[in-house]
Amino acid sequence: MCGIVGFVGKHQAAPILLDGLARLEYRGYDSAGLAIRNGEEPAEVVKSKGRLKILAEKTDNGNSLVGNCGIGHTRWATHGEPSKTNAHPHVSGNCTGSGSGEVESEVVGVHNGIIENFKELKEKLLKHGYAFYSQTDTEVVVKLVDYYYKKYNTDPADAIAKTMVRVRGSYALCMMFKSHPGEIWVARKDSPMIIGVSNGETFVASDVPAILKYTRNVYYIGNMEIARLTPGEVTFFNLDGDVIEKKLTEIKWDAKSAEKGGFEHFMMKEIHEQPKAVSDTIASVVKDGRIELENIGLDEEAIKNISHIYIVACGSAYHTGVVTQYVIEDLAKIPVRVELASEFRYRKPLLDKNGLVIVVSQSGETADTLAALRLAKEKGIKTLAIVNVVGSSIAREADNVFYTLAGPEIAVATTKAYSTQLIAGYLLAIQFALVRGQIDEEKYSLLITELGTIPKKIEKILEDKERIQWFVAKQANAQDVFFIGRGIDYAVCLEGSLKMKEISYVHSEAYAAGELKHGTISLIEDGTLVIGVLTQGELYEKTVSNMVEVKSRGAYLMGLTSYGHYEIEDTANFTVYIPKTDEHFSASLSVIPLQLMGYYLSVSRGLDVDKPRNLAKSVTVE
Ligand code: AGP
Backbone angles phi, psi at 534, to 5 degrees: -140, 85
DSSP β-bridge partners for residue 44: 36
pTM of the shown model: 0.81
Q: For residue 309, list its beta bridge partners.
A: 336, 356
Looking at residue 135, its amino acid is: Q
Please give the pLDDT value at position 468. Answer: 94
More confident residue, 160 or 410: 160
**CB-based contacts of 126: which residues, under 8 Å, 6+ apart?**
132
CA 129–ligand 1 middle distance (angstroms): 43
- 178, 189, 269, 617: the catalytic one is 617
- Looking at per-residue pLDDT, the higher value among 520 and 107 belongs to 107
**According to the model, what pLDDT value does residue 27 have?**
67
**Measured from the CB, is residue 618 less than 6 Å from ligand 1?**
yes
DSSP output for 512-567: EGGGGGGTGGGG--TT-EEEEEE--HHHHHHHHHHHHHHHTTT-EEEEEEETT-GG
Q: Is 319 a residue whose pLDDT tops 80? A: yes
Closest residue (by CA) to atom 4 of ligand 1? 413
List the strands of the sheet with 249-250, edge to edge.
Answer: 44-49, 31-37, 69-75, 3-8, 201-205, 194-198, 217-220, 249-250
The rounded distance, in Å, linking the Cα atoms of 82 and 135 is 10
Residue with the smallest CA separation from ligand 1 atom 16 is: 361
pLDDT digits (tens, 9 = 90+) for 50-69: 888 899 999 999 999 999 99
Name the closest-CA residue to atom 7, ligand 1: 315
The enclosing H or E element of 313 equals strand 309-313
CA dist., res. 325 & res. 319, Å (int): 10
CA angle 137, 138, 139 (to 5 degrees): 95
User: Is the CB of residue 619 below 6 angstroms from any atom belonging to ligand 1?
Assistant: yes
Could you tell me which residues are beta bridge partners of residue 82? none
Q: Could you tell me the pLDDT band of residue 28, with boundaries at 50, 70 and 90?
A: low
Please report the pLDDT score of residue 95 as a whole number. 66
In angstroms, the Cα distances linking 235 to 39, 185, 195, 229, 285 are 20, 10, 11, 7, 36
Percent of the chain exceeding pLDDT 90 equals 79
Question: CA 31, 37, 40: angle at the middle one, nearest 5?
Answer: 155
Instruction: Note the pLDDT of residue 59.
Output: 93
Count of other CB atoms within 10 angstroms of residue 128: 11
351 vs 184: CA distance, rounded Å: 44
Catalytic residue among 2, 69, 174, 493: 2
Q: Are 616 and 28 in contact (CB under 8 A)?
A: yes
Give percent helix, percent strand, percent coil of the chain, each to the nearest 5: 40, 25, 35
The SS3 call for residue 234 is strand
Q: How far is the CA of 158 from the centre of ligand 1 (A)?
A: 37
The lowest-confidence range among 95-109, 395-409, 498-512, 530-544 is 95-109
pLDDT value at position 101?
Answer: 53
Give the per-residue pLDDT at 243: 97
Ligand 1 center–CA 462 separation, angstroms? 23
- Give the 3-state secondary structure of residue 391: coil
Least confident of 102-111, 158-167, 263-272, 557-566: 102-111
Task: Return the bridge partners of 201, or none.
Answer: 198
Per-residue pLDDT tens digits for 418-457: 999 999 999 999 999 999 999 999 999 999 999 999 999 9
Residue 125: is its pLDDT beyond 90? yes
- In one-letter notation, the amino acid at residue 45 is V
pLDDT at 84 over 90: no
Q: Which residues contact 527 (CB under 8 A, 6 or more apart)?
A: 554, 555, 556
The full set of domains in the chain, from first to last, is 3-251 (3.60.20.10), 254-452 (3.40.50.10490), 460-609 (3.40.50.10490)
Average pLDDT, rounded, for the chain: 93
CA separation for the pair 455, 458 (Å, rounded): 5
Q: What is the DSSP string of 357-381?
A: EEEEESSS--HHHHHHHHHHHHTT-
> Which ligand 1 atom is the nearest neighbour of the CA of 316?
8
For residue 392, how far is its CA from the centre of ligand 1 (angstroms)? 15
Q: For this structure, is 2 an active site residue?
A: yes
Q: Angle CA(126)–CA(163)–CA(391) in degrees, nearest 5?
A: 140
Distances (CA, A) of 273 to 238, 270, 320: 41, 5, 18
For residue 548, the CA-to-ligand 1 centroid distance in Å is 34
> 412: Cβ below 6 Å to ligand 1?
yes
Query: Given the CA of residue 421, which atom of ligand 1 is nearest to it?
Result: 14
Ligand 1 pocket residue status of 316, Cβ below 6 Å: yes
Let me know if 314 is a catalytic residue. no
